[in-house]
Chains A and B, each alone.
Chain A
Amino acid sequence: MSFVQNFPFFSIIIAMFSGILSSVLSGKKARNLSLTAIGVTGILSAAVLLHGIKTGESYTYMMGHFPAPWGNEIRAGVLEGLTALLFEIVMFLAVVGGLKYTQADVEESKQNLFYIMIDLMLSSLLALVYTNDLFTAYVFVEINTIAGCGLIMIRQKGRSLSSAIRYMILSQLGSGLFLIGLSLLYDVTGHLLMSPAKEAVAAIEASGSYEVPMLVITAVVSVGLGIKSGLYPFHYWIPDTYGYATPTASAILSGLVSKGYIFLLIKIFYRVLGRENVVASHIVNVLFVFGVVGMIMGSLHAIAEKDTRRMIAYSSVAQIGYIYMGIGLGTQAGMVAAIFHIFTHSATKALLFISAVGLYEVSGNKKDYLSLRGAGYRNPLAGIGFGIGALSMVGFPMLAGFISKLLFATSALQSPHKMFITLIALAVSTVLNAIYFLRLVITLYRPAVSVEGHEISVKEKATKSSWNLRLAVLCFIVLNVILGMFSQPIVNAIGDGLMMFE
């Protein structure tokens, strides 16, 4: 067994241990430890990815001295390594980009607690990506939820506390449903680890017993994880939460937290229930319908919003609708499109939040359209960053969003029943996305005027933001362009990874 195979385990332990150590460190040292931990785990995940590509298969790693059905294990392959690498890059850039605001928003004595949340959020995302056991997944889902709540409420001003309690209430509903689904699955199959559970499920489907429990288990687990990741009817916590948190937290919450749960859902579909069984049970059709409705309703809400941060948050609802539409198509190509859109959305949404902060700080910290007029001239780099992010969300060629929409459309052509609805929904939501995003981009580049009674306290000359914000925006732009122009190897890697996933 080569040393590289230890790396997934090392990344999870490094993240957790730095969280534990940060409890006695001061704010600055905790921040440096956090950034180091994210960087090191990024390098380790890249090594795992390369190892997976070279060997062409995924492997399991025993956590303890006992093999699969008796002891815990984690599993790593190409898809897990790629997802972990992307999550770490986005998290690193989000922490770097919002450094100055974290120092301003969080009290001095509680800064190290913020970085503990970041470390434990990283460890829970890595564990959700690599795990091969259902109960470990439940425990780390809870760590993810509590760390997310900590990130939301660390600011303690404005709406943070009330949005935190709404988030916790909806998350606990989802966790409760997930837990009872897990218990029913254990009752019917007798296994908690994913690979033995899959054999048991295959035997159950072949013998035809326990049909009703299997259907209810699929439904309950999907609805539980859907509530937690913000599927359409359960999206009420998203605008308040993403819009009023400190910028690092907004970027991490919108980009990464929901994606961990969606990845776990895809993993359960492939590795426990079996994709054919899930498609045959028509649960994917329900997810498809909710996804399509979410795409359209999220965009409609975003158009009606006047506060730009809430508008970006509502567009997150629409994008998660896209991902669920991809899962709902039920085909392998649909899953590849959904996973690629997970990558695109993480990178782009974080870019939008970080560059939006750069624009607000030169507009007198106001977030409405009239104050943002001309902000593109006052802070050029943030304006370009926001413009590229917006164009990517709309689907401009050469950027990441275009490839996602192309993948969705080609995968829709392969499923004849859902083809028309998918293509029409894609077209309508692209037009709606263009309405609100391009409106904001055009507003950024109009010259600022002062309306009677509404003073704008802006600086006339172009100003530069702090170095960390500029660095983060620049790196995000580069990431977006890489995902857009060099997408073919990534899509191939996702496809191969999905083959090894089962």
Chain B
Amino acid sequence: MLEHMALNMEETVSVILFGIGFTILLLHQNLIKKIMGMNIMDTAVYLFLAAKGYISDRMVPIVVDGIQDVSAYINPVPSGLVLTGIVVSVSTTALMLALTIRLYERYGSLDLDQILLRVKEDERT
């Protein structure tokens, strides 16, 4: 089993990064670190997808010299998925950062527990 994991080194590393990013997003208290964790998680999935496309000893899927043989190029599908995924990740990061800016301006803290405490105090007054 370990040899198989060593053969699939790229997938192993991306899965470890995914777990780390997931835990940071879930359990850290600081909002900026949560956003970083979300980005680590998404980037790990793109690494996984990019690794899926690779085939040894073949070229990027841009047709050169008119060669259109299947055995000359790598799989183009995962690259397209990664392109779409990167834009989605940028959009959600921008949205979460904008929310963090507004929360900081209003409650004066980047710590999610502190913010929730202050929300409750605000409501009592």
Q: Are A159 and B85 in contact (CB under 8 A)?
A: no
Q: What are the 9 tightest A-B residue pairs by CB atom distance, in nearest-first order?
A: A176-B41, A165-B99, A142-B88, A162-B119, A179-B45, A172-B38, A180-B45, A183-B49, A187-B52
- Which chain A residues lie closer than 8 Å to B21 at the CB level? 176
The contact string, 1 if C-beta is below 8 Å from chain B, for chain A 146-174, is: 10010001001011011011101100110
Restricting to B77-101, which residues have a CB under 8 Å from any CB of A?
77-78, 81, 84-85, 88, 91-92, 95-96, 99-100
Q: Which residues does A use to contact B, with CB under 8 Å?
A: 135, 139, 142, 145-146, 149, 153, 156, 158-159, 161-162, 164-166, 168-169, 172-173, 176-177, 179-180, 183, 186-187, 192
Residue B116 CB within 8 A of the other chain: yes
Given known pairs A161-B99, A162-B115, A186-B52, the reply for A169 and B85 (CB within 8 Å) is no
Q: Are B119 and A146 in contact (CB under 8 A)?
A: no
Interchain nearest-CB distance for A137 vs B (Å): 12
Interface majority SS on A: helix, strand, loop or mixed?
Answer: helix
- Which chain A residues lie closer than 8 Å to B48 at the CB level? 180, 183
Interface residue from B77, B88, B95, B102 paired with A149 (Cβ < 8 Å): B95
- Which chain B residues lie closer than 8 Å to A165 at the CB level? 31, 96, 99-100, 103, 112
20 further A-B contacts with Cβ under 8 Å, apart from A161-B102, A169-B96, A186-B77, are A135-B81, A153-B99, A161-B99, A161-B106, A162-B107, A162-B116, A162-B119, A165-B96, A165-B99, A165-B103, A168-B95, A172-B41, A173-B25, A173-B26, A176-B25, A176-B41, A179-B85, A180-B48, A183-B81, A187-B52
Interface residue from B41, B52, B103 paired with A162 (Cβ < 8 Å): B103
The contact string, 1 if C-beta is below 8 Å from chain A, for chain B 31-64, is: 1001000100110010011001000000000000
- Which chain B residues lie closer than 8 Å to A180 at the CB level? 18, 45, 48
A169 CA to B49 CA, complexed, in Å? 23
Interchain nearest-CB distance for A223 vs B (Å): 11
Q: Are B18 and A176 in contact (CB under 8 A)?
A: yes
Interchain nearest-CB distance for A324 vs B (Å): 21
Interchain nearest-CB distance for A192 vs B (Å): 8
- Which chain A residues lie closer than 8 Å to B45 at the CB level? 176, 179-180, 183
Interface residue from B81, B92, B102 paired with A168 (Cβ < 8 Å): B92
A173 CA to B123 CA, complexed, in Å? 29
Q: Are A139 and B88 in contact (CB under 8 A)?
A: yes
Q: Are A176 and B42 in contact (CB under 8 A)?
A: yes
Interchain nearest-CB distance for B33 vs A (Å): 12
- Which chain A residues lie closer than 8 Å to B22 at the CB level? 173, 176-177
25 residue pairs of the A-B complex, CB under 8 angstroms, read: A142-B91, A146-B91, A159-B119, A161-B103, A161-B106, A162-B107, A162-B115, A162-B119, A164-B99, A165-B99, A168-B95, A168-B96, A169-B25, A172-B25, A173-B25, A173-B26, A176-B41, A176-B42, A176-B45, A177-B22, A179-B42, A180-B45, A183-B45, A183-B49, A186-B49
- Which chain B residues lie closer than 8 Å to A156 at the CB level? 102
Nearest residue (CB) in A for B91 is A146
Nearest residue (CB) in A for B99 is A165
A42 CA to B99 CA, complexed, in Å? 34
Interface residue from A146, A179, A187 paired with B95 (Cβ < 8 Å): A146
A187 CA to B84 CA, complexed, in Å? 18
- Which chain B residues lie closer than 8 Å to A166 at the CB level? 112
Nearest residue (CB) in B for A187 is B52
The contact string, 1 if C-beta is below 8 Å from chain A, for chain B 104-124, is: 001100001001100100010
Nearest residue (CB) in A for B75 is A190
A149 CA to B92 CA, complexed, in Å? 10
Nearest residue (CB) in A for B49 is A183
A277 CA to B102 CA, complexed, in Å? 47
A172 CA to B103 CA, complexed, in Å? 19
- Which chain A residues lie closer than 8 Å to B25 at the CB level? 169, 172-173, 176
Nearest residue (CB) in A for B105 is A161
- Which chain B residues lie closer than 8 Å to A179 at the CB level? 42, 45, 85
- Which chain A residues lie closer than 8 Å to B115 at the CB level? 162
Given known pairs A172-B38, A176-B41, A180-B45, the reply for A139 and B84 (CB within 8 Å) is yes
**For A146, A173, A177, A183, which residue has the most chain B Cβ atoms within 10 angstroms?**
A183
- Which chain A residues lie closer than 8 Å to B123 at the CB level? 158-159
A153 CA to B103 CA, complexed, in Å? 12
Interchain nearest-CB distance for A118 vs B (Å): 17
A467 CA to B44 CA, complexed, in Å? 53
- Which chain B residues lie closer than 8 Å to A159 at the CB level? 119, 123
- Which chain B residues lie closer than 8 Å to A168 at the CB level? 92, 95-96, 99
A186 CA to B100 CA, complexed, in Å? 35
- Which chain B residues lie closer than 8 Å to A142 at the CB level? 88, 91-92
A142 CA to B34 CA, complexed, in Å? 18
A258 CA to B118 CA, complexed, in Å? 29
A187 CA to B53 CA, complexed, in Å? 9
A172 CA to B41 CA, complexed, in Å? 10
- Which chain B residues lie closer than 8 Å to A158 at the CB level? 123
Q: Are A172 and B100 in contact (CB under 8 A)?
A: no
- Which chain A residues lie closer than 8 Å to B100 at the CB level? 165
A177 CA to B44 CA, complexed, in Å? 12
Interchain nearest-CB distance for A120 vs B (Å): 12
A180 CA to B18 CA, complexed, in Å? 9
A164 CA to B49 CA, complexed, in Å? 30
A173 CA to B42 CA, complexed, in Å? 10
Nearest residue (CB) in A for B93 is A172
- Which chain B residues lie closer than 8 Å to A145 at the CB level? 92
Nearest residue (CB) in A for B22 is A176
A142 CA to B96 CA, complexed, in Å? 13
